[in-house]
Amino acid sequence: MTAEQERVVVPKRDVRTRRIAFAYPTGSLDRHYVQGDLVMSHLVAVLSALFPEGEDFFIRAVRGYRDQVTDPELRAQVAGFIGQEVTHGREHRALNDRLREMGYPTRLVDRFTNLLLIRSDRLFPRRFQLAVTAALEHYTATIAERLLTSPEAQELLGETEVRSVLLWHALEESEHKAVAFDVYRAIGGTERMRIGTMRLVNALFVPIVVVFTAISLAGDRASYNPVRLLRSLARVPRSPFVAKVVRRNLLAYNRPGFHPDDFDATALLERWRAELFGTNGSLADHLR
C-alpha cells in the first residue's frame, strides 16, 4: 500500500439508490421547454443526451476498481454510486426519447458519446478512465449544486417534469460527488494525473457541448429568426450556470490537495432531501 493510499479517510455519507420513475406524456412539454428559451432548451437537451453513455462509463470506471476498495464505508458508497448512476442513465434515456420526438438530435449525441467512450475504454489505462470520471463528476456536482442553490436557475426550468428529473439528478450528483474521487485516491491515483486529466477535460468537454448545441439549433426552424436567436444567445453569459462562482468552483479542482468535500453541501442536501422526498416532498409520489 502506498503512502497516498494510507492517507485516505472516507467519512460516512448517505448515498442511497432511489427507485424512481418520471413520465413525459405527449403534449406535456412545450417545444422550447426551458421557459421558452431557445438556446437553453437545446443546451439542456444536449447535456441530457450526453448522460446515459457518460453514466455507463462512470460505472465501468468505478466498478473496475471495486475489488481494490478495502474501506467498508467507501465500498458501501460505491454500491450506492453505481445504483444511482444506473437509474440516472435509465431516466435520461426516457427523457431523451421524448426530446427526440420533439425534434432534438439526442440520438446523434448519444451515438457520438458511445463511440468516444467505448474507444476510450480500449485505448486508455483504467486509472486514467477513473481520473476522467472523477473530473467529470466534479463538473456535474458543481452544476448540480448551482441548480440547488440558485432560485434563478430553478426558475429557468419552470414547473415541468424536466425540472423534476433535473432536481432529483442534481441532489444525487451532490450526494455521490466524492465517490469516484475517493476511489481514485484509494487505489493510489496521483495528483499529477488528477490535475492533468481535468485540464484535458476542460479542453474537450465545453467545445463538445457547444458544437452539439449548435448542431441542435441548426435543426430548429425557430433558430432562423435572427431576433429570437440573438436575444437568446445574449442571455447565455448572464445564465446562473456560468456565473463566477461556478467557474471558481470548477477551477478549484486544479488546486493541489483539493477534495470535493471542500465545498460542504451537508445542509443543502438535508434541505433538498426533505423538499423532494420528505413526507410532503414534491417527488415522493415518483418513488416506486
d(CA 66, CA 60): 10
| pLDDT string in tens for the chain (288-residue length) | 444 444 567 899 999 999 999 999 888 899 999 999 999 999 999 999 999 999 999 999 999 999 999 999 999 999 999 999 999 999 999 999 999 999 999 999 999 999 999 988 889 999 999 999 999 999 999 999 999 999 999 998 888 999 999 999 999 999 999 999 999 999 999 999 999 999 999 999 999 999 999 999 999 999 999 999 999 999 999 999 999 999 999 999 999 999 999 999 999 999 999 999 999 999 999 998
pLDDT at position 6 is 45
Q: What is the model's pLDDT at position 284?
A: 96
Residue with cell 450526453: 50
The neighbour count for residue 247, using CB atoms within 10 Å, is 11
Neighbours of 127 (CB within 10 A): 18
pLDDT of 24 reads: 92
What is the separation of C-alpha 149 from the centre of its chain, rounded to a whole number of angstroms? 16
145's CB contacts (< 8 A; 6+ apart) are 170, 174, 249, 263, 265, 268
Helices vs strands, H then E, count in the chain: 12, 0
Asked if 185 contacts 1 with a C-beta cutoff of 8 angstroms, the reply is no
pLDDT value, residue 7 = 53
